[in-house]
Amino acid sequence: MASFSSFIKTNKYPSRDTFIKLFEGPFSWYTATLSVLIAVTIGSAYLLLINLNDKLLVTVPARGGSLTEGVIGAPHFINPVLAATQTDVGLTRLVYAGLTKHTDDGTMVPDMAEGYTISPDGKNYEVRLKKTIYFHNKTAMTASDVLYTYEMLKDETLDVSNATYWQSIQIEEIDPYTVLFRLPQADPTFLSKLTIGILPKAVWEPIAPADFRTAAANLAPVGTGAFMVDAISYENNIPTEIILKDNPHVEEKPYLDELHIAFFANQEDLAQAFNDGSIDFTASLLPAYIEKISDTNLSTKRIETTTTIALLRTRSEPNLDNASVVGILNHFIDKNDIIATVEHGYGTALNVPQGGLPLSSDDALSQLKPLGYVLENGILKKRGVPVRLTIAIENSESMLETAHLLQRTLGTIGIGVSIQAFDQGAFQTGVRSGEYQLIITNSSDTITPPGYQSVIQLYTKTLPYVLNARAIGIAETIPIAAAERYDHSTKWYVYTEKLWTWFAPKETSKEK
């Protein structure tokens, strides 16, 4: 039998003239067969090239451009020590940077710090600073700036929510680029608390603590973050827009050249601005208002956050000191119902029972009975004493809704719930003093208020992130904030260019 090579030698490929003559002549079965073979060959080669293209190309972030974000509420304190509102906290994380930060996967790594050493007993943290960090005003960041920032967190005149925690920690400047934190007891989460932005001592030290909240520097921040303030527009002395430009001196330079942030007083104005095309994206619109936007090219993403809604107790609260009781209530409360009602479905329930369905009232009562609880005339009692809870909350629509849903749910098994609502200032003061035995918190803070412990975690919030066609075309948002793993005000990765693998710089390659 002749070999394939001998066949090729004796049967040459048809020449170009042969092909031309073939198709000029009368149409035959031979011509049809050859035409099909040629089409199949071309199609197969095309599919092979597409597959090869997908395997050999990588995604590399492109740079440049600007976008406008819309948020609810104007900033007052772009200051890591004073920031409390979502607007202030978001801007602070863009303009300032801390000693540590979370990576995309939640790992804690140095940021402004070069590294750190932890003592064997976990009480001492020696933090070494990078010697190449500069504030936006081009002055070097040193240990004195770090020490000053954390000492201001301790200052009682500033009414900082975490003051008590920091007052228990001794902070020393070992040398211009080394700081030592001495903790009263080991805290495995301490590195996550060092994400607080660093203030420039030279700017803030001349300002007395009593004048901190009224200082003009609160709206003219000087940090070390990825963005720096370029301009602020005002109307009746209230900021209406802030323009941030990229900080060319940071190691991780933002991909956007500019980020414009427009401030609105209410949901209606924000939705109208979206319809007018004056903003490109927002994470502040409630679902009910997203439905009113007329833009048909709208894209809505769900972004997980670290904001956790939870019920906290003091150690003196008597009704929820039993872990078994807490476990039963955790599985009895319909957390998904709270998410549906309060957050319009934007949230993730925590500590739900296997299968996802909450316990029925009968099942909850049957599990409580061996623990000494009895339902008498619609009232749950233990040793004849009615079980009653008093929950303190901040007076906001979402907190009131959450508290009333808990009141209704627990009432079905005979637990009486009273609700006390306070304005923000009074509530925070009461929390710091330990005045309330039970509170519902709505916070992404990594520090639990002193004297409290979490007993029932309800859910984490999910942000509805809305983008118009321009934002979708220019940038892909990756919400990884400088100080929190997930937050809406963050880094931006502009939509990418495709490069052949062997030309793509490894340090800049990033899969979408």
pLDDT at 490: 37
Name the more confident of 24 and 281.
Answer: 281
Name the more confident of 125 and 477.
Answer: 125
pLDDT band, very low/low/confident/very high, at 487 (cuts 50, 70, 90) = very low
pLDDT at 499: 37
Name the more confident of 128 and 32.
Answer: 128
**Residue 68: closest CA among 219, 278, 350:** 278
pLDDT band, very low/low/confident/very high, at 153 (cuts 50, 70, 90) = very high
CA distances from 228 to 90, 107, 194, 423, 439 (A): 13, 26, 21, 33, 37
DSSP string, 13-43: PPPHHHHHHHHHS---HHHHHHHHHHHHHHH
Report pLDDT digits (tens) over 379-432.
999 989 999 999 999 988 889 999 999 999 999 999 999 999 998 778 878 887
Would you give the DSSP letter of residue 185? S
Residue 479 has pLDDT above 70, yes or no: no
pLDDT at 494: 32
Cα gap 122→120, rounded to integer Å? 5
pLDDT band, very low/low/confident/very high, at 475 (cuts 50, 70, 90) = very low
Residue 152 has pLDDT above 90, yes or no: yes
What are residue 140's DSSP bridge partners? 134
Tokens standing for 293? 């936007």
Collapsing DSSP to helix, strand or coil, 399 comes out as helix
pLDDT at 27: 61
pLDDT at 58: 55
Report pLDDT digits (tens) over 205-253.
999 989 999 999 999 999 999 899 999 999 999 999 999 998 888 877 7
Q: What is the pTM of this model?
A: 0.67
Which of 173-182, 246-255, 305-314, 388-397 has the highest mean predicted lDDT (pLDDT)?
173-182
Residue 61 has pLDDT above 80, yes or no: no
**Residue 97: closest CA among 369, 501, 482:** 482
Cα gap 190→481, rounded to integer Å? 18
Average pLDDT of the chain? 81
Query: By CB neighbour count within 10 A (0-12 exposed, 13-18 middle, 19+ buried), where does 436 fall?
Result: buried
Looking only at the bridges linking them, the beta strands covering 238-246 and 385-386 are unpaired
- Note every long-range contact of 469-474, with CB atoms under 8 Å and residues 24 or more positions apart, other chains counting: 469/295, 469/297, 470/67, 470/280, 471/67, 471/280, 471/281, 471/299, 472/297, 472/299, 474/65, 474/67, 474/280
Name the more confident of 165 and 150.
Answer: 150
pLDDT band, very low/low/confident/very high, at 482 (cuts 50, 70, 90) = very low
In percent, the amount of the chain with pLDDT more than 90 equals: 44
